[in-house]
Amino acid sequence: MIKLINLLTEEQKFDFDGNKDSIIKYIKAVKNNRTPFPIFYTLIKGESKVGAAKKSGFDDTANDKWKSIFKSNIFYSDGTWSQIDFNSKLVRKTGKDRTLNYYITLAKDKNNIYKFIKSIPDLNQKLKKLSDEKQSPISWKTHTILDTFIGHNDSLKIFYYDADLKEDIEKIAKEWLQQNELKNSDRTHSHGADVRVGNEDKQSWGQILSNILDKQFTELIKKYQDKYTDEQYFEWIKKNMSEIIKKVNIKYK
């Protein structure tokens, strides 16, 4: 029986104050009919900051040790992300143009990160078992660099290619967190879909959300212009971004 523990910490962090200058520049650009520099993708995913591991209590060798784990031969790594695939040659029911995602934000304290590393074999076992039983490919990935892992909202992503597995994936993820006593954060979105439309490159769910936010915020500024100050627009997006994200519907099929 699973031991039920309240392991939720604070919600994923959107660093509005740290990006305030960029947001104000965005507002001014829209008011002056210029194309603003994109800001929402950075806000959604978070940022990698050099020295984040040291601030969390790790020593100077921690990033190298982390990289040695996540660039080992059990992972495929592109240098930024490290991924494990189960039954990757099986047919994808969603096809090549859609990948379904389940996101997890882990608490970034030192003890929780150690627990995460120790829990990797358990996550592999659970996901492989589901992949074998359902005869459907499943993958998961995390950051190759510890500083990035600490700075980003998406600690790890589980990828699957059959919409019918949604509840199974969510159940496994929650069991894995509970059984390994991993602290995780509440999120605006736990599920998503990477999608390719036409001949375009596949867009991640974070990019899709950032495009929606860009459109809505730009339309708002253009509609009201100087009726509100830059500071008032900043406070509006700070207050409303989470709710906008929560209302976006995912097309699973």
Question: Which whole-number Å values give the CA distances from 215 to 30, 33, 36, 220, in the listed order?
Answer: 11, 14, 11, 9
Higher pLDDT, 5 or 209: 209
Give the pLDDT of residue 112: 95
Let me know if residue 1 belongs to a domain. Answer: no
Residue 138 near residue 131, CB atoms below 8 Å: yes
Q: How many domains does the chain have?
A: 1
Tens of pLDDT along 69-102? 999 999 999 999 999 999 999 999 999 899 999 9
Q: How confident is the model at residue 1 (pLDDT cuts 50, 70, 90)?
A: very low
Give the pLDDT of residue 215: 96
Give the pLDDT of residue 200: 80
Residue 95 near residue 155, CB atoms below 8 Å: no
Tens of pLDDT along 163-196? 999 999 999 999 999 999 999 988 999 999 999 8
Let me know if residue 207 belongs to a domain. Answer: yes
Any idea of the CA torsion for 43, 46, 47, 53, to the nearest 10 degrees?
A: 150
Which one-letter DSSP state was computed for residue 152?
Answer: B
Tens of pLDDT along 132-172? 999 999 999 999 999 999 999 999 999 999 999 999 999 99
Let me know if residue 117 belongs to a domain. Answer: yes
Let me know if residue 3 belongs to a domain. Answer: no
Give the pLDDT of residue 10: 42
Q: How confident is the model at residue 253 (pLDDT cuts 50, 70, 90)?
A: low
Q: Are strands 191-195 and 184-185 parallel, antiparallel or unpaired?
A: unpaired
**Residue in the structure block whose two tokens are 């494990």:** 84
Structure tokens given for 112: 């929780």
Give the pLDDT of residue 177: 97
Structure tokens given for 221: 């500024």
At 73, phi and psi to the nearest 5? -75, -5
Let me know if residue 252 belongs to a domain. Answer: no
pLDDT > 70 fraction of the chain, expressed in percent and rounded: 95
Quick check: 225 pLDDT over 60? yes
Residue 36: partners with Cβ closer than 8 Å, 6 or more residues away? 25, 26, 27, 29, 30, 214, 218
Polymer length of the chain: 253
Tens of pLDDT along 2-18? 233 334 334 578 999 99
Tens of pLDDT along 102-119? 999 999 999 999 999 999
Higher pLDDT, 25 or 57: 25
End-to-end CA distance of the chain: 34
Any idea of the CA torsion for 231, 232, 235, 240, to the nearest 10 degrees?
A: -150
Q: What is the mean pLDDT of the chain?
A: 92
**Residue in the structure block whose two tokens are 């990289």:** 67
Quote the CA–CA distance of 154 and 171 in Å, as a whole number: 18
> Which domain covers residue 82, as residue numbers?
8-246
Strand partners, 184: 8, 106
Let me know if residue 101 belongs to a domain. Answer: yes
Structure tokens given for 231: 């500071």
By three-state DSSP, how is residue 9 classified?
Answer: strand
